[in-house]
Amino acid sequence: MTDVIHLLPDHVANQIAAGEVVQRPASVIKELLENSIDAGATNIKVLIKEAGKTLIQVTDNGKGMSLTDARLCFERHATSKINSAEDLFSLKTKGFRGEALASIAAIAHVELKTMQNDDEVGTCIKIEGSEVVSQDVCVTPEGTTLCVKNLFYNIPARRNFLKSDTVELRHIIDEFQRVALAHPGIQFSLFHNGSELFQLPETNLRQRIVNIFGGKTNEKLVPVEEDTEIVKVSGFVGKPEFAKKSRGEQFFFVNDRFIKSPYLNHAVTAAFEGLLKDKAYPSYFLYLQVDPKSIDINIHPTKTEIKFDDEHSLYTILRSAIKHSLGQFNVAPVLDFDRDATLDTPYEFSNKGPVPPKVEVDPNFNPFQNERSGGYSSSGFRKEKSSGSWESLYTDFDQKDFSTPSAINQVEFESDEVTGNLFGQSEEKSSGSTTFQLNKKYIVSTLKSGILVIDQHRAHSRILYEELLKNITVTSAVSQQLLFPLRLQFSTNEMELLKENEESLEQTGFIFGNFSKDSVEITGIPTLISESEVAILLEQLLSDLENEVPGSSFSQIDILAKSLAKGMAVKSGTLLNSEEQQNIVNSLFACKESTLSPYNRPIFITLTVDELDKKFM
C-alpha cells in the first residue's frame, strides 16, 4: 500500500483560498479598503483601470507596516487583528482571517509600498503568484499603497468569467459605496481609467449620503434614532413618497460593517406599511451598533451576512423606531443644509427690508453678434446650444425627413417582420402626423398647450416591460419557431439561472430544449426579436439576474422583464416612421406608468407655451 495523502504547497492552498475570497475585482477593493480602515487611515484613494481587471491601487495614510510585517502580511493566516479564538467574539476590526492579502498575491501581480509613521524609509515588495520577486527599501509617504495588477493572470478560467467592464465596475462602485457609507469620517476617492467617479470629503453621515446619491437625496431623508440596551439604531430612511421601484438604496450596517439581512429588511418594510405605493421599495441607511459578543460574523465567507443572538428583539426595535420617525418627521419639514438660505423667510423678517430679486445682465450681450462667437451663450439665457446656429436646425430636419420614400427605405429595423408585428397592433393610422423624430432619439409630439419630448428607447422599454410582465404573469406570448434550432453555450452559473427562469422565459415566447451541462437549444423565440439578437439578449439577461439580489420570485421576474425590455426596445439612433412614432406615443400613454422607464428614468419632458414664452422674452 502506498500513501496518497500529502499537504498542498502554500501557493496552491492560497489559490484555493483565493477562490473564496476573491470572486471579482470588487472583492479586492473591499478587502483593501477594509485593511486601510483597520490601519486607521483617514484618507483612502482608489485607482482602477478597466474595471479593476488590469489595475487596482489603494493608497492610504494609515499606520503602515514594518519591514517584517510587510513580508508577513502575505502569508496565509497572518493577521495582526486577533490573537486567540476568544478575540473572534469581540471583533472591532473588519479583517481577522488573515487571508486576503495571501489570496490576492496568489492570483495577481502585487506591489506593496508601505512606511510606518516614525520610520525614515519604507519597504517595497513585489510578489507574483505568491512568489516574492523583489524587496527593496523605498521612499514612500506614510501609510500603505497596494497595487494589484492583472487579476487572475494565472487562472484564465476565472479571468474569462469576469463580466463586462460595466458590470464589474458596478460591483466595484457598490462595494466602494458600502464602505464609504459606513465611514463618513474618512475621506475617500475613486478614479476609473483616469476619471474621477467619487470624491468624498470627510463629513457627517447625512452629507455623505448626499455626496454619494446626489443633492436631491437630502430632502428625502428622515432621521431614525433609537438607543436601547440591545441595540443603538441610527441613520435615515427615505420618505415614503420617494420610495423607489427597485431596491437600489437599501443599506444596513452593523458595527460599521455592511450586511444583508432579509429579516431586518422585513422589519423596515413593516414600518412603512400602508405608506408605500404598490411595489415600491423605501430607501434606508440604517446603522446598528450592537455588542460584538452578540453577533457572529463568521457564518459567511465574504461576510455580508451575520447572525444575531436576539434577532427578534432587533426586529421589533427597528420597526418601532422607524415608525416613530416617520410619524414624527413626515409632516415636519426636514432641516436642509443644502438649501439656499436666502430663499427662506427668516424669523427676524420684520427687521429687514425686502431684497430685490437679482437680475443677471450680460453687459457684453449683443443680439447681432454671431452666436458661435460665444457672446450669446455667455449671457446665461441659453445654457445649452442645440446646434451651431438656427439655420442648422432646419437643415437637420431636412436630412431626417421621414416623409420622403428614400429615407424610409434606409430605415434599418432589426427585423421588419418583428417591428411590423409590434407596431401593427394599433389600428390607428395617423394620416396627419402630429409627431416627428429628433436626432433619431426623441419623438416630439404636440400637447394642447406645449410640446412633449419623448425618449424613444425609454418609452419603448416601458411599453415592452409592461407587456412582458403581463406575458409572464397572465397570458403567455406567441413565439416564432426557428427553422434551425440555436445552440447557445453558457457557464454553469448561467445555466442554473436559465433553468430557474425557464418557465418565465417560455411565457415570453422562448422555447428551450435539450439542456446540457453548459449549453441549451433554442427552438422558438419571442416575435419581437430576431434570431441574431438572441444570444446577446440572453447573455445580458443572465448577467442582470446574476447581479441582482434575488429578494423574491417576483423581483426575479421583474429583473427579467426589465432586462428583456431593455434589450428589445428600439435603440436611440433608430429612425422611426411616423406611424411607429405614433404607436409608441399611444402605447406609452396606455401604460400603467408612463412617466418612468423600467429603470426609473424619466421618459419624457414637456415644454409648455408659458415656458416657451419665457424663453422668448
CB of 95 vs Mg ion, minimal distance in Å: 3
Note whether 114 and 158 are within 8 A (CB).
no
Residues that bind Mg ion (CB under 5 A): 35, 95, 100
Note whether 591 and 465 are within 8 A (CB).
no
C-alpha cell at 585: 406615443
Of the candidate residues 29, 30, 96, 295, the single one contacting ligand ADP (CB under 6 A): 96
Instruction: Find the length of the chain.
Output: 617
Judged by beta carbon, residue 172 or residue 472, the one nearer ligand ADP is 172
For 360-413, give the secondary structure using H, E and C. CCCCCCCCCCCHHHCCCHHHCCCCCCCCCCHHHHHHHHHHCCCCCHHHHHHCCC
- Which residues in 155-296 belong to E strands, given as ranges? 187-192, 195-200, 221-227, 231-238, 250-254, 257-259, 284-290, 295-296
Those residues whose C-beta lies under 8 Å from the C-beta of residue 447, and which sit 6 or more positions away, are 606, 608
Which of Mg ion, ligand ADP, none does residue 334 bind (CB under 5 to 8 Å by kind)?
none
Judged by beta carbon, residue 35 or residue 57, the one nearer Mg ion is 35
For residues 462 and 456, give the distance between their C-alpha atoms in angstroms, rounded to a whole number: 10
CA distances from 433 to 103, 581, 606, 608 (A): 64, 9, 19, 20
For residues 156 and 561, give the distance between their C-alpha atoms in angstroms, rounded to a whole number: 33
Q: Name the segment binding ligand ADP (CB under 6 A); options: 97-105, 271-279, 334-342, 561-569.
A: 97-105
Of the candidate residues 144, 189, 211, 218, the single one contacting ligand ADP (CB under 6 A): 144
For residues 73 and 601, give the distance between their C-alpha atoms in angstroms, rounded to a whole number: 46
Of the candidate residues 25, 52, 95, 509, the single one contacting ligand ADP (CB under 6 A): 95
What are the residues facing 290 on neighbouring strands?
231
C-alpha cell at 436: 416627428
Judged by beta carbon, residue 28 or residue 322, the one nearer ligand ADP is 28
Of the candidate residues 51, 55, 65, 147, the single one contacting ligand ADP (CB under 6 A): 65
Total number of residues that touch ligand ADP (CB under 6 A): 23
Q: Which residue from 191, 123, 161, 142 is spatially nearest to 22, judged by alpha carbons?
A: 161
If you ran DSSP here, which 8-state letter would residue 549 be given?
Answer: -
> Please, is 523 exposed, middle or buried when counting C-beta atoms within 10 Å of its C-beta (0-12, 13-18, 19+)?
middle
Which of Mg ion, ligand ADP, none does residue 80 bind (CB under 5 to 8 Å by kind)?
ligand ADP
> Does 79 sit near ligand ADP (CB under 6 A)?
yes
Note whether 329 and 323 are within 8 A (CB).
no
Of the candidate residues 13, 43, 67, 78, the single one contacting ligand ADP (CB under 6 A): 78
Which of Mg ion, ligand ADP, none does residue 60 bind (CB under 5 to 8 Å by kind)?
ligand ADP
Q: By beta-carbon distance, which residue lies closest to Mg ion? A: 95
> Does 98 sit near ligand ADP (CB under 6 A)?
yes
Binding mask 24-63 for ligand ADP (x = CB under 6 A): -------x---xx--x--------------------x-xx
Q: Name the segment binding ligand ADP (CB under 6 A); options: 2-10, 99-107, 189-197, 345-353.
A: 99-107
Q: What b/e readout covers 300-334, taking b as 16+ CB neighbours within 10 angstroms?
A: eeebbebebeeeeebbebbbebbbebbeebeeeee
CB of 129 vs ligand ADP, minimal distance in Å: 16
For residues 91 and 216, give the distance between their C-alpha atoms in angstroms, rounded to a whole number: 36
CB of 103 vs ligand ADP, minimal distance in Å: 8
Judged by beta carbon, residue 99 or residue 466, the one nearer ligand ADP is 99
CB of 318 vs Mg ion, minimal distance in Å: 29
Q: Name the segment binding ligand ADP (CB under 6 A); options: 92-100, 225-233, 278-286, 500-508.
A: 92-100
Which of ligand ADP, Mg ion, none does residue 55 bind (CB under 5 to 8 Å by kind)?
none
Judged by beta carbon, residue 83 or residue 409, the one nearer ligand ADP is 83
CB of 65 vs ligand ADP, minimal distance in Å: 5
CB of 611 vs Mg ion, minimal distance in Å: 55
Which amino acid is present at 471? N
Q: Name the segment binding ligand ADP (CB under 6 A); options: 72-80, 458-466, 534-542, 579-587.
A: 72-80
Q: Name the segment binding ligand ADP (CB under 6 A); options: 77-85, 253-261, 345-353, 588-596.
A: 77-85
Judged by beta carbon, residue 303 or residue 460, the one nearer ligand ADP is 303
Which of Mg ion, ligand ADP, none does residue 205 bind (CB under 5 to 8 Å by kind)?
none
Of the candidate residues 24, 97, 206, 208, the single one contacting ligand ADP (CB under 6 A): 97
> Does 297 sit near ligand ADP (CB under 6 A)?
no
CA distances from 377 to 47, 94, 289, 381 (A): 36, 52, 53, 7
Which of ligand ADP, Mg ion, none does residue 461 bind (CB under 5 to 8 Å by kind)?
none
CB of 50 vs Mg ion, minimal distance in Å: 24
> Does 445 sit near ligand ADP (CB under 6 A)?
no
Judged by beta carbon, residue 144 or residue 504, the one nearer ligand ADP is 144
- Pair type for strands 450-455 and 511-513: unpaired
Judged by beta carbon, residue 100 or residue 243, the one nearer Mg ion is 100
Task: Give, as ranges, the residues between 185 and 224 that touch ligand ADP (CB under 6 A).
Answer: none
Which of ligand ADP, Mg ion, none does residue 25 bind (CB under 5 to 8 Å by kind)?
none
Judged by beta carbon, residue 31 or residue 579, the one nearer ligand ADP is 31
If you ran DSSP here, which 8-state letter would residue 66 be given?
Answer: -
**Region of 152 on the Ramachandran plot (φ > 0 left; ψ -120 to 50 alpha; else beta):** left
What are the residues facing 608 on neighbouring strands?
450
CA distances from 54 to 18, 58, 159 (A): 17, 14, 11
> Does 147 sit near ligand ADP (CB under 6 A)?
no
Those residues whose C-beta lies under 8 Å from the C-beta of residue 541, and which sit 6 or more positions away, are 560, 563, 564, 567
Judged by beta carbon, residue 24 or residue 566, the one nearer ligand ADP is 24
Binding site for ligand ADP (CB under 6 A): 31, 35-36, 39, 60, 62-65, 73, 78-81, 95-102, 144
